[in-house]
Amino acid sequence: MTTTTSTDPLAVRKSPIVRTSSGDLRGSEHRGVRRWLGVPYAAAPVGPLRFRAPQPVEPWEGVRPATEPGAAAPQEARPFTGGISKTFAQSEDCLFLNVFSPSDAGPEPLPVLVFIHGGAYRSGTGGSPDYDSTPLAARGIVVVTISYRLGAFGSMDLTALNDDADGIRFDANCTLRDQVAALAWVRDEIAAFGGDPARVTIAGESAGGNSITTLLATPSARDLVHGAIAQSAHPMTAHTPANKAEHAHMLVERLGLDPAHAGRDLLRVPAARLQAVGEELDDDVTRATPLVAVFSPTIDGEFLPEHPLEAFRAGRANPVPLVIGTNHDESSLFKRSKTAILPTTEARAEQLVAGTDPEAWERIRALYSIERGADDVRRDWIAAGGDGVFTVPSIDVAQAHAANGHPTWMYRFDHASPLMRLVGLGATHGTELPYLFAAYGTPLGRIVTGTDTPRVRRRVHRVLAGSWVAFVRDGVPSHAGWTWPRYEVEDGAPGARATLCIDTVSHVEHDPDAEVRRAWSGTHYEF
């Protein structure tokens, strides 16, 4: 049997074997899409590379099979909330990506979408069936889904434990560094898969959405990105080295390590124990102080020079076209969560706006505090948290990016299946994902979309996936004969706070969250 190993974009159409700078990869074909799964984009971050910046891939001999996704980062299995199943392989050796390219594409290189999964920086993987990008690639783009280090392995800043005497040096922001390394791989290698390295759009949801807004404020990612889509981002989630140092010492104490040699000993902790203790610490810190996340980016002054929100407000964020939005009922998922990600009382909600002017706080109290039963009040304050964490900061980013003259579009995902409405979740956090990826048969997809008719699923998918693909292809999300106007902040402008409301019948509204936006006006976030 003769195979083709070439960087010629036409060769990938003829054979699922491609040549990268590290070696040859054999993929597979499924439903008109060529797929290469479990492709390493950096060396295994194990042994002395634990807690260090990603290093180049070690080349391999022969043809490497790329027909199965790589291992996920160590995590607790959460298959029904977008995480992994209990049978999905886990390993610290987790820096893999997956490439999807249409089999019938012509000779011209195709635009590229790089999707970053969510999961609170502690769960998920790009290899999950929830992110199978075959349907998106079939629309005429190349799609890359990536995995990255999670939890204590990537999203804590342990540099406070650096010790010259023990020869220990850790790096901050390993999660972000992994994502930048994956984007550099796309720049260097994607042409071999039929993609155009000069047309790369990044997208992500939840922690992946936070990654998007953070990467737009990260200098090393600036030349690697040409467009961005932030889904249910929480753009304020980034913390100072002082916060992170406190968490590092708390981790050392919980692990029972010798403080004098904590860095050295931390390299020897078994992965399963480090994962479990790290997640327990994250849970406990979040219960004590909502929104102070143990697993989050660090404003280290170098890799991430400033808070992403400040970068957007000052016009220093990457000036690429941006689509950003949230879901209609973001917070309803969290009222059933075991962890206190969002506040459940007025006192805890007030922590969201610590230091703000009293009038703003009174507006917020008037909007959410309703004299009803305890369950209703709890729900109202979780709603306040959802708006304070997701809706308002996303509007803030859209306003700032648009005011600085950069193309911006805003959306709100409103669709909810009959079951999701019946159980009181509505269009909650993450429910757009099965419609975007047409992943209706996964555990998450069955819950979210199972009571929709096939016709309804197709309609929502066409709007969501069609808009995303149009944006990746053209830099504008309008498609199929209808226009999604750019977001503008000037009252009276044609696109004044224009927001695409995605539902069974999608439509554009102007300032649909005006009441929430005005209530939170004048607040600021202190972390």
> What's the token pair of residue 336?
């059933």
Residues β-bridged to residue 163: 168
Beta strands at 110-116 and 96-102: parallel, antiparallel or unpaired: unpaired
Please check whether residue 331 is in contact with residue 342, taking contact to mean a CB–CB distance below 8 angstroms: yes
Residues 80 and 463: their CA atoms lie apart, in Å, by 25
Cβ-Cβ contacts under 8 Å for 517 (sequence gap 6 or more): 392, 395, 511
- Beta-carbon contacts of residue 380 (< 8 Å; ≥ 6 apart): 368, 369, 370
Give dist(CA 504, CA 509) in Å, integer: 15
Tell me which residue of 44, 38, 39 sits closest to 68, measured CA to CA: 38
Q: Which of 22, 155, 206, 211 is labelled catalytic?
A: 206
First to last CA, the chain: 60
Per-residue b or e along 59-97, where b marks 16 or more CB atoms closer than 10 Å to that residue's CB = eeeeebebeebbbbbbbeebbebbbbeeebebebebbbb
Q: How many other CB atoms sit within 10 Å of the CB of residue 48?
A: 11
Answer yes or no: are the C-beta atoms of 407 and 418 closer than 8 Å. no
Candidate list 92, 189, 279, 330, residue with the active-site label: 330
293: exposed, middle or buried (Cβ count in 10 Å: 0-12, 13-18, 19+): buried
Please give the structure tokens belonging to residue 89: 């392989």
CB 380 within 8 A of CB 365: no
For tokens 């249409």, name the residue.
102
Catalytic residue among 328, 429, 461, 479: 429
| Residue 281: partners with Cβ closer than 8 Å, 6 or more residues away | 152, 247, 250, 251, 254, 294
SS3 for 500?
strand
CA distance 260 to 397: 43
Q: Give the H or E element holding residue 507.
A: strand 507-510
Rg of the chain (C-alpha set): 22
Q: How far apart are CA 446 and CA 444, in angstroms?
A: 6
Four-residue CA torsion sign, 383, 385, 390, 396: positive
Kindly report the number of other CB atoms within 10 A of residue 421's CB atom: 13
Q: Identify whether 101 is a catalytic site residue.
A: no
- CB contact burial 174-212 (16+ within 10 A = b; e otherwise): bbbbbbbbbbbbbbebbbbbbbbbebbbbbbbbbbbbbb
CA dist., res. 11 & res. 23, Å (int): 16
30 in active site: no
Indicate if 509 belongs to the active site. Answer: no
Tell me which residues are annotated as active site.
206, 330, 429
